[in-house]
Structure 1
Amino acid sequence: MSVIEVENLLEAIDANAPCGEDLEYDPAFTEMDTLAQEKPEQQYGDTIIPAEPPDWRGVRNVALELFGRTHDLRVAVCLSRALLATDGLPGFADGLALIEGLITRYWDEVHPQLDPDDDNDPTLRINTLITLCDPETTLHDLSQTPLVSSRVLGHFSLRDIQVATGTVTPIASASNENQSDQPSQTSIDGAFQDADLEALQAIATATAKSIERIERIEAELTDRVSVTQAPDMSALRTQLKDIQHILAAQLQRRGVSGDVKAYQAMAEAGAPEVAGATMATQHPVVSDITSRESEVAGVTTATQHLVVGDITSREDAIRTLDKICEYFERYEPSSPVPFLLKRAKSLVTKDFIEILNDLTPTGIEQANLIFGLQDDNCSDDSYS
């Protein structure tokens, strides 16, 4: 499901002027720019007014209103950043679809206009689009966008995962001096296990769509303005691919296909967000939660797996029960499931009469009577 109605927003505003007027100096345009700016910390005497982040919901509302009057890449880029903040990667994917549509359908008319006095120079447009790769704005916001949400363990972003794996070293400050405040890989893995599966699939599909759209935007711009003038969007694409590999690895641990190419193929086909993965029904996977060969963010982790469909011995079954117990003890310590599974494990090597004697000692006499067994052969001592 789309966050915004991209096709409706891309409709021509007027038959004679499909992109409407240039509203750069319109009060609404100015308001959008103002709302998108962070307000710095201010001090008046002894009074300190804390810094305020951009009002992204306000930006979103104003930008959508502007799209009814103008088709402008500056508005589309601003809206994309707002959607990333308010709706995460699914919103960002829609914003990129809007940008792609403006470029492919309205290159000759979209604002800001090409410079007719300088051989239709596209610099204003290119400078607008390259802000999507700004490490201090869009890329920073993308790295802080939650990739997983757990009601128990909280939200974790690409930045959190990079800190936990040591890929990124956090800048020391008073707010993060306490090591316990830093995200741990155990907490992150637990959040991915606890999170809603359809929500994870939706984010994975949106990430794949975003990568595909970035690549098509780059290709279209290269055709329009040549290789030398087209913007280099590799920084944005690389960060999205880092996210894609992390999500694919975590989905694989949930028993869902983590094949990156599968997500890209479904993104190209416009698959529904929640259908963004192939369930591994033929060989459901139970991940080994203690043995990892790699935990580097941005690279698919090589994790050992037990395949439930390949259990061929009692020992395999016992090891699988142990892994399930490990999961609940680590990520859901209040759950009674491990106690019940350990009880079941203790019965694995016993025969029927021994199990009956273990579970319901008072019922052994009725069993002896039903099966015609002698008391001396079925006493408690015989099955202890």
Structure 2
Amino acid sequence: MTELQAFLDPVDGPNVSGTELRNDLRFHALEQALEVASNASRAEAARNGTTVQIDWEAILGDCRTLAATGRDLRLLVIVARALMGTGGLAGLAEGLGLLRETVARFWDSVHPELRPAATKAEAAIRRVNAIRQIESAENGLLCDLNYAVLLSARMFGQATGADLAKASIPWATAEAEGPSGLGEKERAAAQEAFNQTVARVTGICRATAAEQPEVYAEVLDGAGAALHALASLEAALDAHVAENGIGVRFERLAKILTRIEATLKANRPAEAAAAPPPAAAPAAPAPAAAGPPEVSMNGTAQAAPPAAPAAAAPAAAMPGAFPSRITSRDEVIRCLDLVIDFYERTEPSSPIPHLAQRMRKMVPMNFLQLMEEIAPSGMKEFRSIAGVLDDKK
């Protein structure tokens, strides 16, 4: 993190973190320069067959200049975005590491300031909200990751972060996370697009792993490093804001990174050798950077960019072998996804996938949420007996 030392050095003046940048005109100019990186701008460019060009090196230089005035978490989130823009997933890991280091070393002085409040979490709400911009799919780090080209192969085109994430899940999951109320034709078109993306991404991964193994290993290592850095950031925040075992979790970013890593692991040579080869796509010029999937990771419909055409293929199965022992809620969800996918393919009239979908929804719930889901009519009496306040009032 030597090249990032400027963001960790003490700022001249009575406060080692300098002044807050919220009202600094240079910071506002930086935010305006990033408006072109919004999901809306990128989706519009994709529809026109172009891509949005962002000078991340210049953004990073402007951030270094501002860092001499104040140590502000809002600025450091932009730094993390710029580092990913210049260094891919490894750069993302560096950016998250910088946020973690700042939280750990400068919590007493970093901006935005803590506010008087009854709890640690309430006092730090502005800081937590500033960091949560890493999960913004509209104009934040998650949006950047969705559109970032992480792999490319001559025969198949390019794969973005959103493409790689999509390729690790079955159609049932993608559909559940996508827009509701689709007609039969719309649903069929969405599933066809999903199948083509999975086939294309599988081809890109296997071609890159075979022809450029060092590049593939670098991207895979970067995904793992980013996940580790994100967990370390959560732990650093927990030390200052966690109460009653409840801390800050960046679940949306963790989900897409986990899925990216799963796709990359599943298509390493050893794992891919046991799987059938992907349908080859016709040779075509490398397309412009692809956008997020037609069914996005955050459940909103996104415009899909031009991509190298691929032959239709069945929805890919979940990567990795079926676990002999379940050790986490994430694995519970993966297994339920497999159940749903099996019945949708083999017994579409069965009620089991509908029950499994409901079970999947309940996996992350706490006890009270489960009670409300299973027996809502008895919740009023239960709350009265247990002395639990109804937070809906």
Give the TM-score normalised by the residue count of structure 2.
0.55
SS in 2 for 1:168: helix
Query: How big is each residue's C-alpha offset from its partner over 1:203-262, in whole Å with a ceiling of 9 and x where there is no partner?
Result: 2222212212221221221221223774331222222111112111222x2x4xx8xxxx
What amino acid is the match of 1:76?
Answer: L
Contact 1:246–1:300 (CA<8 Å) still a contact in 2? no
Higher strand share: 1
Confirm or deny that 1:211 pairs with 2:214. Answer: no
Matching residue of 1:61: 61
SS in 2 for 1:210: helix
SS in 1 for 2:205: helix
What amino acid is the match of 1:205?
Answer: D
Query: How big is each residue's C-alpha offset from its partner over 1:351-374, in whole Å with a ceiling of 9 and x where there is no partner?
Result: xxxxxxxxxxxxxxxxxxxxxxxx
Q: Pick closer, same or farther for the CA change 1:124–1:185 going to 2, 3 Å.
A: closer
Matching residue of 2:316: 295
SS in 1 for 2:273: strand
Matching residue of 2:258: 241
Matching residue of 1:319: none
Matching residue of 1:5: 3
Q: Pick closer, same or farther for the CA change 1:54–1:132 going to 2, 3 Å.
A: farther
Query: How big is each residue's C-alpha offset from its partner over 1:290-343, in whole Å with a ceiling of 9 and x where there is no partner?
Result: 27999346x4367xxxxxxxxxxxxxxxxxxxxxxxxxxxxxxxxxxxxxxxxx
Q: Pick closer, same or farther for the CA change 1:146–1:168 going to 2, 3 Å.
A: farther
Superposition deviation, residue 75 in structure 1: 0.3
Matching residue of 1:127: 129
Matching residue of 2:147: 144
- Cα distance in 1 for partners of 2:266, 2:52 equals 33
Contact 1:161–1:188 (CA<8 Å) still a contact in 2? yes
1:232-271 to structure 2, matched below 5 A, reads 232-251=249-268, 253=269, 255=270
SS in 2 for 1:114: coil
- Cα distance in 1 for partners of 2:164, 2:233 equals 29
- Cα distance in 1 for partners of 2:99, 2:10 equals 15
Matching residue of 1:190: 203
1:105-184 to structure 2, matched below 5 A, reads 105-115=105-115, 121-137=123-139, 138-161=141-164, 166=171, 167-168=173-174, 183-184=196-197
Query: How big is each residue's C-alpha offset from its partner over 1:147-201, in whole Å with a ceiling of 9 and x where there is no partner?
Result: 322233221134324656534357799xx99968974444323322322222222
Matching residue of 2:18: 20
- Cα distance in 1 for partners of 2:86, 2:34 equals 13
Contact 2:220–2:265 (CA<8 Å) still a contact in 1? yes
Superposition deviation, residue 29 in structure 1: 0.6
Contact 2:151–2:205 (CA<8 Å) still a contact in 1? yes
Instruction: Say which structure, 1 or 2, has more relative contact order (CA 8 Å, 6+ apart).
Output: 2
- Cα distance in 1 for partners of 2:193, 2:50 equals 26
Confirm or deny that 1:226 pairs with 2:232. Answer: no
Which 5+ residue runs of structure 2 have no aligned equivalent?
A: 42-47, 180-184, 279-313, 323-393
Contact 2:242–2:248 (CA<8 Å) still a contact in 1? no
SS in 2 for 1:148: strand
Superposition deviation, residue 127 in structure 1: 0.8
Q: Pick closer, same or farther for the CA change 1:119–1:159 going to 2, 3 Å.
A: closer
Matching residue of 2:343: none
What amino acid is the match of 1:290?
Answer: P
- Cα distance in 2 for partners of 1:123, 1:54 equals 33
Cα RMSD (Å): 3.9
Matching residue of 1:202: 218
What amino acid is the match of 2:238?
Answer: T
Contact 2:11–2:68 (CA<8 Å) still a contact in 1? yes
The structure that has the greater radius of gyration is 1
Matching residue of 1:356: none
What amino acid is the match of 1:132?
Answer: I
SS in 1 for 2:159: strand
Contact 2:80–2:96 (CA<8 Å) still a contact in 1? yes
Q: Pick closer, same or farther for the CA change 1:88–1:294 going to 2, 3 Å.
A: same
Segment of structure 1 superposing worse, 65-74 or 12-21: 12-21
